[in-house]
Structure 1
Amino acid sequence: MDNHTKGFPVTQIYGFILSLVLTFAALFIALKTSLSANMIIWIIGTLAFVQAGLQLFMFMHLKDGEENGPKMVNIIYAIFLALVIVFGSIWVMSFGM
């Protein structure tokens, strides 16, 4: 019996709790540690990346269904677009081109 037939979304509750833990870990690192600003940014970025992956699997039903091909293509395309937007913005702000 899987989570959808039981009526109670156990995996979504676990995902929500893990997302809260990662968010509060980032908050603690940002406010209560004496690390350098560069190190804090890298740690928070890593935690954000982990949380994005967690949400893809827990909330976006990435592993549900039989046909994962179209889902993976859409996710790869979304990651590509996000990287182009982020790095393109950094490039424009840094070099003014």
Structure 2
Amino acid sequence: MIILLATAFIQADVQVAMFMHAEESEDKASIYAHVWYSVFLAVITILGSLLCIVGAYKIPGI
């Protein structure tokens, strides 16, 4: 799983650099900041959803 996640992040970085031309742009820091913020929001959403699912599973009577 760790290898899968590592290669996924490497692929995402290559796509941002190559296809969004992040390395050639003047606002390179802004592009990478938006990408990392999006990744952060996605992780928080996934973990929050999992927490709700597990929490709802442990509530008796549901």
Q: Which moved more, 1:67-76 or 1:83-92?
A: 67-76
C-alpha separation between the residues in 2 aligned to 1:81 and 1:57?
Answer: 21
C-alpha separation between the residues in 2 aligned to 1:44 and 1:62?
Answer: 24
Q: 1:10-40: per-residue Cα shift (whole Å, max 9, x none)?
A: xxxxxxxxxxxxxxxxxxxxxxxxxxxxxxx
Gaps (5+ residues) in structure 1?
A: 1-40
Q: 1:39-97: per-residue Cα shift (whole Å, max 9, x none)?
A: xx232222222211221112221112222243233223212211211211222222228
Identity %: 30
SS in 1 for 2:22: coil
Match of 1:87 among 39, 42, 47: 47
TM-score of the aligned structures, taking structure 2 as reference length: 0.62
* Structural mapping, 1:40-55, within 5 Å: 41-55=1-15
C-alpha separation between the residues in 2 aligned to 1:91 and 1:75?
Answer: 24
TM-score of the aligned structures, taking structure 1 as reference length: 0.45
Q: For this pair of structures, how many residues does the alignment match?
A: 57
Q: CA RMSD in A?
A: 2.2
Distance 1:89 1:59, change over 3 A: same
SS in 1 for 2:21: coil
Gaps (5+ residues) in structure 2?
A: 58-62
